[in-house]
Amino acid sequence: TNYDREPPRHPSLTVNSKEPFNAEPPPCTLVASFVTPEEIFYKRNHGPIPVLEDPSEYRLEVGGLVSKPLSLSLEKIRMLPKHTVVATLQCAGNRRTQMSETKHVKGVGWGVAALGNGIWSGVCLYDILELAGITQGTTATLNGGKHVEFVSVDVCKEENGGPYKASVPLLQATTPSADILLAYEMNGKELNRDHGYPLRVVVPGVIGARSVKWLRGIYVTADECQGFFMQRDYKMFPPSIDWHNVDWSSRRPLMDFPVQCAICTPKEGAVHALGSMVTIQGYALSGGGRGIERVDVSIDGGKTWLEAKRYQKQRGDLYSSDTDNDCEKWAWVLWEITVQIYPPVDIIAKAVDSSANTQPEKVKSIWNLRGVLNNSWHCVQVQAEN
Ligand code: MTE
Ligand code: MO
């Protein structure tokens, strides 16, 4: 595999793995804007970034159990109705490094910034499927198609040199409110190579692993995708299971992510004077289109809690009511609270989603061999100035 045609990257990124390139921004830059700029948006790859020599030669193949197979050029795709979705992509491995502190887990280490909120524009997956002869809201086609598989062109060692792939159930793919997009723009600009140029899938509310980049083919299939990342990775096992007794076929692939929250500023080990006013900021999100109902912050290690103010647009337009119905359902909320602190203190944040789901207090109770979905309470220690 050849890494000499990688795109340029922003110097502020923390590189967790160089080849393949895996990197995340400093957490404080995440809370600087509701929409994450592309340069600092986390990058999660399993191989070199593909090179598309001639965009006019590109074709998206739509096949499998469809009545009208298609081969679509970029030009044709751009002529179809354009939709925009604001959605946060989050890697299932976000906060994995912390999970490893209790007991080692296998996988690329990530801090709290393996996520980003983007404005994605492109065509709706159900519009493409409709062109291929599948009607909206279909659970199965007459010839037995029940899943929609997305296939890329990148070279992954886990796939023995084959491309990255994933699938979603046909019903989700054909349901307009699921908002699955084939995006060719990110934040109002042409999608860049790191994030999937010329076309990527965006499956809102679902772990990032299913949002296949550098999309080349969409296939309606009878079975769920049998690729490595669906069957032998991105599954969650109980704490009692480790590499010696794991049976990958006993669990389903992860899809929706759970309620999650992290403190982005102050950072771990920050120093503050006794009695100083500190603004604590972070993000919170949940999967499956569930919004955030509440963010609780403690400045005494979890004895008492205060509710933070949440916002989705400008920092200036803080809202804390549950009556805000103009929120983006697939996007994170940013939150903040200004408090007087007497260090040393443990600052903790936890969120509650719109279905009243809460986060586990300790990482130990959700430890799993692949280190996925660490959504335990996030804690930052602040030291006293001496
Ligand atoms: N698509 C392809 N083709 N190859 C990949 O390695 N990584 C997946 C997903 N799509 C991946 C992919 C994973 S695990 C995540 S978390 C997201 O892309 C990351 O998207 P980003 O790099 O645009 O942030
Ligand atoms: Mo991921």
CA–centroid distance, 46 to ligand 1, in Å, is 8
pLDDT tens sequence across 267-301: 999 999 999 999 999 999 999 999 999 999 999 99
What stretches of 140-267 adopt beta strand conformation (E)?
147-151, 165-169, 181-186, 189-190, 200-202, 217-221, 260-265
Q: What is the pLDDT of residue 386?
A: 78
For the stretch 215-228, pLDDT in tens is 999 999 999 999 99
Ligand 1 site: residues with CB under 6 angstroms? 41-46, 89, 91, 152, 154, 164, 195, 208-209, 211-214
Q: Are 310 and 319 in contact (CB under 8 A)?
A: yes
pLDDT at 1: 64
**ipTM of this predicted complex?**
1.00
What is the number of the ligand closest to the CA of 166?
Answer: 1
The residue whose CA has the least distance to atom 7 of ligand 1 is 45
Residues 307-320 have a mean pLDDT of: 71
Q: What is the mean pLDDT of residues 60-70?
A: 98
Pocket residue to mutate for ligand 1, from 17, 45, 158, most atoms within 8 A of Cβ: 45
Ranges of each domain in the chain? 14-250, 260-384
Rounded to whole angstroms, the Cα distance separating 146 from 123 reads 21
Say what percent of the chain tops pLDDT 90. 95
Hey, which of 30, 44, 193, 234 would you mutate to test ligand 1's pocket, going by the most ligand atoms within 8 Å of its Cβ? 44
β-strand 189-190 against 181-186: which pairing, if any? Answer: antiparallel
What spacing in Å lies between the alpha carbon of 287 and ligand 1's midpoint?
Answer: 17
**Fold classification of 260-384 (topology level):** Immunoglobulin-like (2.60.40)
Backbone angles phi, psi at 285, to 5 degrees: -160, 165
User: What average pLDDT does the segment 206-216 reach?
Assistant: 98
pLDDT at residue 315, rounded to an integer: 52
- H or E segment at 310? strand 309-311
Name the residue with the closest Cα to ligand 1, atom 24.
43
C-alpha 355/C-alpha 351 separation (Å) is 11
* CB-count exposure of residue 14 (10 Å: 0-12, 13-18, 19+): middle
| pLDDT score of 314 more than 70 | no
Nearest atom in ligand 1 to the alpha carbon of residue 153 is 3
Cα-to-centroid distance, 275 and ligand 1 (Å): 44
pLDDT in tens, 80-133: 999 999 999 999 999 999 999 989 999 999 999 999 999 999 999 999 999 999
> Hey, which of 15, 213, 372 would you mutate to test ligand 1's pocket, going by the most ligand atoms within 8 Å of its Cβ?
213
The angle formed by the CA atoms of residues 62, 184 and 95, to the nearest 5 degrees, is 100
Task: Answer yes or no: CATH 3.40.50.740 is held by domain 14-250.
Answer: no
Q: Sorting pLDDT into bands at 50, 70 and 90, what band is 324? A: low
